[in-house]
Chains A and B, each alone.
Chain A
Amino acid sequence: MPVAASAIYFLNLRGDVLINRLYRDDVGGNMVDAFRMHIMQTKELGTCPVRQIGGCSFFYMRISNVYIVIVVSSNANVACAFKFVVEAVALFKSYFGGAFDEDAIRNNFVLIYELLDEIMDFGYPQNLSPEILKLYITQEGVRSPFSSKPSEKPVPNATLQVTGAVGWRREGLVYKKNEVFLDIVESVNLLMSSKGSVLRCDVTGKILMKCFLSGMPDLKLGLNDKIGLEKESQLKSRPMKSGKTIELDDVTFHQCVNLTRFNSEKTVSFVPPDGEFELMKYRITEGVNLPFRVLPTIKELGRTRLEVNVKVKSVFGAKMFALGVVVKVPVPKQTAKTSFQVTSGRAKYNASIDCLVWKIRKFPGQTEATMSAEVELISTMVEKKPWTRPPIQMEFQVPMFTASGLRVRFLKVWEKSGYNTVEWVRYITKAGSYEIRC
């Protein structure tokens, strides 16, 4: 049964109800007490997001300082429920203009009730596109394209938009200048052993799009992925152009992309929603270009001293540079004194996270930097258990670099009025979980 929820609660960290909405009759109004008593006030909190208490099951998620709790008593679709929460939160954020926390909820509770009534009926998720909902659920302070008209009067064809085949775009949009912005954002995830061998490495990327296009445009996106290129050359019966191609392990698309067409022709074609959205996500595990190499040596000298040596090498193009590089080297809890030597940037000891934090604002390509530190420990009398040596973690951003090698080859826009569009493409690679064991 694809029912996702019988009731939904928004609680603050103390367990006070901020919002509650019962969708079905099979759970009682006081179920939230059970949640407070059996989960919030026990050590169970955070050990498992799906729990059964009595005849009911609870799914919960924490988002900033709010718990969102879904209660069901049937064999509900959990995946659907969690995804619903994630998308509902995104929707609320787009209405409030960014933040989603206790204050934002209290300040918008009427709006939230109204939205909750609209986006779920009898426990079944309905249309959650902010774009469409803003057509007819408007609150003071919410900018709507129709705000000049009196809000009492609903948009005449709003209902057709909600249920339309293109349920994410409204008709009759006009822009003076037709522009599309593409942002390719990649996160590199790395797990490297202390000996320098790569244990796991992948790139998860997303293509974010900002569309300011008139009418109902049809878009087609071409990437340098191997399968797409092969299919293309097959269809046009001409040999493949040489050049770097990449292999995508998996792609997922925004609901605007025609999946059947992607499956048969391998082309990404779609009618985009207006404004900003996430067009696609992809994952690559083969042929990842790691932007940084990290070579750590940590020596324990006796029981009270550590010698830490970390060398970081940038291996991307010499003309590029990384921004906001942070290397966090864990040290034992009983660290007393530290002294550093760095070739660039700044390093200090942060006791609250038990790490040496080394920051380099700008890190050019094809260079290296080192940090050496001496750490003195308080000697403890008790036979302590050996230090667990958590991994070194790294943060960075490298603009105009893709760890996967992905490139946008073209973005074509067709609209019946035949206007010209300007396309902008940006690339950036960030650190996902970039861990080096030591």
Chain B
Amino acid sequence: MSGHDSKYFSTTKKGEIPELKEELNSQYKDKKKDAVKKVIAAMTVGKDVSSLFTDVVNCMQTENLELKKLVYLYLINYAKSQPDLAILAVNTFVKDSQDPNPLIRALAVRTMGCIRVDKITEYLCDPLQRCLKDDDPYVRKTAAICVAKLYDINAELVEDRGFLDTLKDLISDNNPMVVANAVAALAEIQETSTRPIFEITSHTLSKLLTALNECTEWGQVFILDALSRYKAADAREAENIVERVTPRLQHANCAVVLSAVKMILQQMELITSTDVVRNLCKKMAPPLVTLLSAEPEIQYVALRNINLIVQKRPTILAHEIKVFFCKYNDPIYVKMEKLEIMIKLASDRNIDQVLLEFKEYATEVDVDFVRKAVRAIGRCAIKLERAAERCISVLLELIKIKVNYVVQEAIIVIKDIFRRYPNTYESIIATLCESLDTLDEPEAKASMIWIIGEYAERIDNADELLESFLESFPEEPAMVVLNNATVETDNPDLRDRAYIYWRLLSTDPEAAKDVVLAEKPVISDDSNNLDSSLLDELLSNIATLSSVYHKPPEAFVSRAKSASAKPDDDEPPLPILLPSSTGQGLQISAQLVRRDGQVFYSLLFENNSQMLLDGFMIQFNKNTFGLAAAGPLQVPPLQPGSTARILLPMITFQNISPGAPNTLLQVAVKDNQQPVWYFNDKISLHVFFSEDGRMERANFLETWKSLPDSNEVSKDLPAAVIHGVDAAIEHLAAANVFFVAKRRNADKELLYMSAKGPSGVPFLIELTAAVSVPGVKCAVKTPSPELAPLFFDAMETLLK
């Protein structure tokens, strides 16, 4: 029953692209379809097939749904790199969004939302408006998600067009899947907005809880996750909510179960009745245990979450420690997490069993796991005073096996036990001393020396033992040295031999003794180590990455709620062109600026990766104005977490790209550690406006008349606004657009201005606008009218 698509991958001939082009334009449907499949196959393996854009888009108008979907997939991938051509697809999209077939309507809206090109987005609004009110629930549920997509591209547009209200209405839709997707979209929008958009009232809460019963499994996750933010008014309401959520614990989908657990834990905070709480704890245990029979990756997520849950509510799994015993074939990451939880659940009641398990693990093959098991025994000893003796005897048994790393790890934890319970277990020192020769790790050696030093007066041959360490002194790492010196101050017999180290520490042995022996931090049980407010935050993020990393979301999500709230200096923030998610941690923001009559490329490098980045180089592709770097890029080596701001002088007319003028500036940046990063910037014409662009009135009139009327172009700039004539003149003058004359016509102000563009091209400008009303009409007369579109772009930016 299997397909045979693999044949589409096997075209590696030289003339592939022209050949595909021909096939795409074939009149035979099948050939066309096969060609599109080949294009998609080539795209998948990473070949650049963007040059076929027009040809592929031409295949879009088809009755064949499969072919249509493939073309759409192509568009999603390449529209961004061909924004000007993407407009070709708009018509078909708009037409498809009114197709009688709901699958096609939904497909059109879904795909348009994935294409982040302004021109497409502009045309998305009307179809989206229609689809949100479509008769077919399938179209509505797709449109609901599309609102979230649009919000991500252009939040203002969503708010202006009232999509948020329509979306909120969908919460009351009669179809559960529409409700679920609307909730997901609203929750996401709320997360990126600081304004209250999606507030859950007790009314919506109850409606959504009812919808829960009919939703698909994923819909249940969306709803539960959104509702977990709800704060119940009192204990009674909380109990009510919990009662309606508990049935979800029986769901086969682990995400539903974890989201239900999250919600129940949140509400439990408010519940005062101990009976109810105890009952809930009892109900939550079995589903949590069941998660451990899922795929190992899911087990891992569950275990990381259980780790948090038992810190908050130790009673939930207090009797279930056996289910955390490691299976021989568990993946190592599952074993490590199980071990952590076993330590947390260990109590006087079950410690014997737990110790038997740890002892078993200490004989396994994986060294890291074995070490962790040994350390676990020590941690139990520190946690449970009454069990400490048994722990020590297990450790001694392990030392007798004489496996090198087990012995060393055991000695390290025994030192901790000695520090926790001083003068209690020194009878075992003799046994420890027997394995002195096998120690070769600094931490183990340091621990042993500490023990000997601490109990020197009870060890007859302490000096001999220490002497054996002293022989290798010069090679010892700092940790051992320090501890040895501690010992010396305590042991007069060796004082003469250690005078060098005294000098290291202090000239006064008594002072050294005070200093060194005083610094003994209290060893305590570290198994419940998370701060309680952090723990609460993590618990409110159950099932998410935050609960797996045990870090609050801000610690690893770079795109925070208010990204602009970073006033590092008084300059306006530069637009981010390479986000750190794309640049493997390197973020680059940049913009062309004009300073003192020269064009600069202002760049901000941010290193959010874990490594040092250096050796930065920059290269610009051919562009309309032939912009290129005037010198090499000089960025200091960037430590992780640091930033650097650079002003790169630019020269023009170096490598001019032929063709109609456009604003595209393609930039490549490279460093020694990472691959080459490519990003696109937009050239704004106003950086070229020169300081000598001022024209006298007469000169202006003369030039105006000398140019033919065909050289005059005008355009409405809908986003531009003039708040006051004088302010506008001043503002534009700062950008080298100079005032010539003004007049009034009815309620409109007319401004005449001049500017001088690249290679001295003059621009004669007429602005028509009503004060403080958005929308400015801009007419320009120039010897180079082909630059007019770029000029309007620049004016719109200046007047925003």
Contact = CB atoms under 8 A, between A and B. Distances in A.
Interface of A: 1-3, 16-20, 22-31, 33-34, 46-50, 52-57, 59, 61, 72-80, 82-84, 86, 96-97, 99, 103-104, 106-111, 113-114, 117, 121-122, 124-128, 136, 139-143, 152, 154, 158-160, 162-163, 165, 167, 189, 191, 193, 199-200, 202, 204, 249-255, 258-260, 262-263, 278, 280-281, 283, 385-386, 388-391, 393, 433, 435, 437
B323 A200 contact: yes
B784 interface: no
Given A78-B548, A79-B543, A435-B328, A28 B322 contact: no
Interface stretch (B58-66, B383-391, B474-482, B523-531): B58-66
Given A124-B218, A163-B177, 10 more contacts: A50-B300, A50-B301, A75-B541, A111-B3, A114-B69, A117-B110, A124-B181, A249-B286, A281-B252, A386-B403
A165 B41 CA distance: 37
24 contacts: A2-B218, A2-B221, A2-B259, A16-B45, A46-B331, A48-B333, A50-B301, A50-B545, A55-B584, A76-B544, A76-B545, A78-B548, A97-B2, A113-B40, A117-B72, A121-B110, A124-B145, A191-B325, A200-B325, A250-B290, A255-B216, A258-B213, A259-B248, A385-B401
A34 B586 CA distance: 13
Nearest to B217: A255
Contacts of B213: 258-260
B252 A253 contact: yes
Contacts of B70: 110, 113
A259 B222 contact: no
Max chain B Cβ within 10 angstroms of own Cβ: one of A22, A113, A255? A255
Contact of B287 (A17, A54, A252): A252
Interface in B119-175: 136-139, 141-142, 145-146, 148-149, 152, 175
A434 B276 CA distance: 38
A39 to B, nearest CB: 13
Contact of B69 (A18, A52, A117, A281): A117
B647 to A, nearest CB: 26
Contact of B543 (A49, A78, A97, A110): A78
Given A2-B222, A154-B65, A28 B583 contact: yes
Contact of A163 (B4, B141, B331, B541): B141
Nearest to B549: A52
A34 B518 CA distance: 47
Given A255-B217, A255-B251, A75 B559 contact: no
A158 B5 contact: no
A104 B65 CA distance: 23
A74 B287 contact: no
Nearest to B405: A385
Nearest to B225: A2
A83 B329 CA distance: 22
A193 B6 CA distance: 52
Interface string B522-562: 00000000000000000001011111110001001111000
Contacts of B6: 103, 106-107, 109
A124 B184 contact: yes
Contact of B247 (A23, A254, A255, A259): A259
A194 to B, nearest CB: 9
Q: Which 10 A-B pairs have the closest CB atoms?
A: A28-B582, A250-B286, A159-B138, A54-B585, A97-B1, A259-B247, A75-B553, A80-B255, A106-B6, A263-B247
B771 to A, nearest CB: 38
Contacts of A263: 246-247, 250
B113 interface: yes
Max chain A Cβ within 10 angstroms of own Cβ: one of B41, B73, B546? B73
Contacts of B8: 109
Nearest to B364: A388
A372 to B, nearest CB: 24
A285 B103 CA distance: 48
B41 A109 contact: yes
B176 A57 contact: no
Max chain A Cβ within 10 angstroms of own Cβ: one of B251, B255, B608? B255
Given A17-B46, A160-B138, A259-B251, A386 B401 contact: yes
A124 B296 CA distance: 23
Contact of A54 (B72, B146, B609): B609
Nearest to B320: A285
Max chain A Cβ within 10 angstroms of own Cβ: one of B65, B70, B254, B297? B297
Contacts of B247: 259-260, 262-263
A55 B585 contact: yes
A141 B2 contact: yes
A366 B311 CA distance: 47
B145 A251 contact: no
Given A1-B191, A435-B328, A152 B252 contact: no
Max chain B Cβ within 10 angstroms of own Cβ: one of A3, A75, A104, A251? A75
B675 interface: yes
B289 A250 contact: yes
A28 B248 CA distance: 36
A107 B5 CA distance: 4
Contact of A96 (B1, B149, B222, B251): B1
A229 B37 CA distance: 58
B325 A199 contact: yes
B202 interface: no
Given A50-B548, A252-B250, A259-B213, A26 B177 contact: no
B363 interface: yes
A110 to B, nearest CB: 5
A72 B553 CA distance: 13
B705 interface: no
B456 interface: no
B187 interface: yes
B137 A159 contact: yes
Contacts of B54: none
A255 B191 contact: no
Interface in B51-100: 63-66, 69-70, 72-73, 76-77
B255 A77 contact: yes
Contact of B301 (A24, A52, A78, A251): A78
Nearest to B353: A199
A32 to B, nearest CB: 9
B749 interface: no
B251 to A, nearest CB: 6
B545 A165 contact: no
Contacts of B218: 2, 80, 84, 124-128
A122 B116 contact: no
Given A200-B323, A259-B248, A1 B301 contact: no
Contact of B252 (A26, A27, A249, A255): A255
Contacts of B675: 30, 33
A167 B363 CA distance: 51
B3 A108 contact: yes
Contact of B225 (A1, A28, A97): A1
B240 to A, nearest CB: 14
A437 B106 CA distance: 58
B258 interface: yes
A281 B294 CA distance: 11
Contacts of A433: 327-329
B327 to A, nearest CB: 5
Contacts of A200: 322-323, 325
A165 B177 CA distance: 8
B250 A262 contact: yes
B1 A142 contact: yes
Given A75-B544, A77-B544, A433-B327, A159 B66 contact: no
A61 B295 CA distance: 10
